Amino acid sequence: MKKSVLVMLGILVGVFLLFSLLDRNGEYGAEQLMWLTTHRLQEFSHDPKSVPDQAFDALEKNFEAIIKRDPQSELALQAYLSIGRIYLVKRSYGIARQKIEEGLNRYPQRPDFCALALSFIGRTYELEEDLPQALRIYKRLVNEYPQTPVGLEMPLYIGQIYEREGAQAKAQTTYSQAIDHYRQLADEHPDSDLEIRSLRMLANTYIGLQKWQEAVDTLGEVLIKSGPNQYLDSSQVNLILRSINTISIVELKNYTVPKKIYKEYIRRHPQDGLSRVIKELIKGLNVLEKNSVKIQDKKIP
Amino acid sequence: MTPERSAKNVIDLIRFSLNTLFQNPLIAYPFVIIAFIQLFVLEIFYFAPRYPLSIFFGPLIRTLYGEGYLHYPYNFILLPKMFQYAQIFIYIFISSFLIAVSVATIEYINNDKKVTFGMMVKKMLPQYVHICLASIFMFMAIFGFLKLYGLAYDRASLIQSTSGKFYLIKRLVMEGASYITVLIQILVTTIFAYVITLIAIEKRKVFSALWKNFRYLRTTFFFIFSMVLIPTLFYLPVLVLRDNMPILGNGMFPSLRGWVIVLSILVLTAIDSIIYTAVTSFYLLKQEHR
């Protein structure tokens, strides 16, 4: 019996060692190293001045090891950005940009990564309070990588920078350009994920400008066009529905606008599961509308 | 082998069961096999996102749960879930049978008969279907109680009070989920305490064993409940550890979740061995006194 217990232990240890060896060069090991190293970097970022340089160097070596393991993997791209983050934490912005530019030159065929890298470089200029350079980079990002997730957010972000700096006229111009940019992207890529993302950014721009009617109309367009195509996940759909309701009721004080959007959705997608939810929403809006009329009708003594 | 002192003392019976297990390791051997099988399955699931097992498990996990769970550290969120589902099958088709083998071994040793593990497995094989059916009934009972708890949970979530007895009830029901689940398992183990013993020793069919089990329980329910509860209390520290592990990204290594499951397996197997040895010893004592 003792022998069989030892055999069982041996099997457990043997299987563990065998599978660990078979996957020693696999992605899992790199993911583990990535997570642990990123975690340490986050800890260091709380008080970077108290962390010795050797500790940062060790992190950089780990990220370089990940890149060396498989230079074409997604992890390698993340590792480049993480190396940049090390120097960001150390406030060595010039070196951070240098490291990121190495990645930019190495992976010109990866637009999502290049957009993130440019966004990172722009951020370092912002931290150095060199806004002209930051804006130059962001505008380059919009021109070269307009369809990436980061590139899509940039036109709105540039307007927000101008607004933050008190340059209202430039901010308004930038917002108008952003509106045209998003509308053009949406029109050029119908029935696609890009169309939906562009329209969502357009809605966000209108919300930033407090153009409530346009915002609600655009959100309605997003909802109806995304429909059963599954461009949106359930949390995004919930957010859009809440936004439509809140803006319509609180800002526009109009219950007809959202009901019109929802009825159009049901008309276009009668069999969609969301239509059932939207029917309940319409009922809820009817009740709210009735109650709000009652409150308005009450005379104030 | 059976205890000489009165069987009314739960602590003495549990102490006696521990001594029995140490003096007769053959009784504990089936539980060692149960622990081995569970640990082996856990190991397979641990390596499921990695080559070469990812060839088989990868598409399955991707379809059922999403791509993210094939990567570190999110595979550790999925690991306990997958293991929990596997445990149901392991218990119904393997663990319950091995528990019956252990129970039969106790009876043989008590009657001073020669016994080997292989011999007891052969003797229990004709009862395999009844043992599996009994464990299915146990699981159905657990699910039933969990459903009831779910209803209580939903009702508690509607309580608006922020102080007083209703607030206390709300907190107890909503925050004590793990502990209430363990209590349900203790209750169900008690309710079905004698079933496997009756199938293994008296060679009864499942419905006959269930009927006699409930007859025995009529007069011994609280005694058996204490006998199941006391060893299970040793699982509480593991439960506290499991429930208070920080969520991913909050400072703890994600792989710690795997080690907590290993600890759970080892502790629960030890607890089960004590419980079933105690229940069987108590049953044999009652039979001797008849």
Pick the range with the lowest mean pLDDT from A241-245, B5-9, B17-21, B51-55. Answer: B5-9
Query: Taking 60 as the threshold, does the pLDDT of residue B6 lie above it?
Result: no
Please report residues of A whose CB lies closer than 8 A to that of B33.
Answer: 8
In-domain check, residue B32: yes
For the complex shown, is ipTM > 0.95? no
Query: CB contact, 8 Å: A19 with chain B?
Result: yes
Q: Do both A193 and A226 map to the same domain?
A: no
Query: Taking 90 as the threshold, does the pLDDT of residue B247 lie above it?
Result: no
Q: Do both A139 and A167 map to the same domain?
A: no
In-domain check, residue B230: yes
Q: How far is B241 from chain A (nearest CA, A)?
A: 22
Do A23 and B51 make contact, defined as CB atoms within 8 angstroms? yes
CA distance A178 to A184: 10
Query: CB contact, 8 Å: A11 with chain B?
Result: yes
Provide the pLDDT for residue A273.
83
Q: Which residue of A has its CA nearest to B46?
A: A16
Q: Note down the domain range covering B243.
A: 26-289
Of the partner residues B33, B39, B50, the one whose CB lies closest to the CB of residue A12: B39
User: Which whole number is the average pLDDT over A35-40?
Assistant: 92
Q: Do both A196 and A221 map to the same domain?
A: no
Q: Across the A/B interface, how many CB contacts are shorter than 8 Å?
A: 47
Do A23 and B254 make contact, defined as CB atoms within 8 angstroms? no
In-domain check, residue A299: no
pLDDT tens, position by position, B155-168: 888 888 888 888 88
In-domain check, residue B8: no
In-domain check, residue A156: no
Query: CB contact, 8 Å: A5 with chain B?
Result: yes
Do B32 and A8 make contact, defined as CB atoms within 8 angstroms? yes
Is residue A23 within 8 Å of B51, Cβ to Cβ? yes
Of the partner residues A8, A11, A23, the one whose CB lies closest to the CB of residue B50: A23
Query: Taking 50 as the threshold, does the pLDDT of residue A301 lie above it?
Result: no
In which band, very low, low, confident or very high, does the pLDDT at A293 lie, cut at 50, 70 and 90? low
Do B32 and A5 make contact, defined as CB atoms within 8 angstroms? yes
Of the partner residues A8, A15, A19, the one whose CB lies closest to the CB of residue B50: A19
Please report residues of A whose CB lies closer than 8 A to that of B73.
Answer: 31-32, 35
Is residue B191 within 8 Å of B217, Cβ to Cβ? yes
CA distance B144 to B133: 16
**CATH value at residue A64:** 1.25.40.10
In-domain check, residue A2: no
Pick the range with the lowest mean pLDDT from B7-11, B12-16, B104-108. Answer: B7-11
In-domain check, residue B236: yes
Helices A53-69 and A27-45: crossing angle, nearest 10°? 160
Q: What is the number of domains present in chain A?
A: 3
Measured in whole angstroms, the distance separating CA A47 from the mean position of its chain's CA atoms is: 27
In which band, very low, low, confident or very high, does the pLDDT at A300 lie, cut at 50, 70 and 90? very low
Query: Taking 90 as the threshold, does the pLDDT of residue A203 lie above it?
Result: yes
In-domain check, residue A19: no
Q: Do both A67 and A137 map to the same domain?
A: yes
In-domain check, residue A9: no
Q: Encode B24-36: b = buried (16+ Cβ within 10 Å), e = exposed.
A: bebbbbbbbbbbb
pLDDT tens, position by position, B121-151: 999 999 999 999 999 999 999 999 999 999 9
Q: What is the number of domains present in chain B?
A: 1
Measured in whole angstroms, the distance separating CA A218 from the mean position of its chain's CA atoms is: 19
pLDDT tens, position by position, A179-192: 999 999 999 998 88
In-domain check, residue B68: yes
Q: Do both A63 and A133 map to the same domain?
A: yes
Provide the pLDDT for residue B166.
85
In-domain check, residue A29: no
In-domain check, residue B4: no
In which band, very low, low, confident or very high, does the pLDDT at B244 lie, cut at 50, 70 and 90? confident
Q: Note down the domain range covering A190.
A: 162-209
CA distance B244 to A138: 44
Please report residues of B whose CB lies closer than 8 A to that of A39.
Answer: 249
Q: Do both A246 and A272 map to the same domain?
A: yes
In-domain check, residue A118: yes
Do B36 and A31 make contact, defined as CB atoms within 8 angstroms? no
Q: Do both A166 and A224 map to the same domain?
A: no
**B135-139: Cβ within 8 A, 24+ apart:** B135/B91, B135/B92, B135/B95, B135/B96, B136/B92, B137/B192, B137/B195, B137/B206, B137/B210, B138/B188, B138/B189, B138/B192, B138/B195, B139/B88, B139/B91, B139/B92
Q: Which residue of B has its CA nearest to A3?
A: B29
Please report residues of A whose CB lies closer than 8 A to that of B253.
Answer: 36
Residue percentage of chain A with pLDDT more than 90: 71
In-domain check, residue B209: yes
User: Which whole number is the average pLDDT over A183-211?
Assistant: 92
Q: How far is B40 from chain A (nearest CA, A)?
A: 6
DSSP string, A160-226: HHHHHTT-HHHHHHHHHHHHHHHHHHHHHSTTSHHHHHHHHHHHHHHHHTT-HHHHHHHHHHHHHHH
Higher pLDDT, A300 or B94: B94
In which band, very low, low, confident or very high, does the pLDDT at B171 lie, cut at 50, 70 and 90? confident
Q: Which residue of B has its CA nearest to A29?
A: B72
CA distance A197 to A186: 8
In-domain check, residue A293: no
List of residues 6+ apart from A161 with CB closer than 8 A: A126, A131, A134, A135, A138
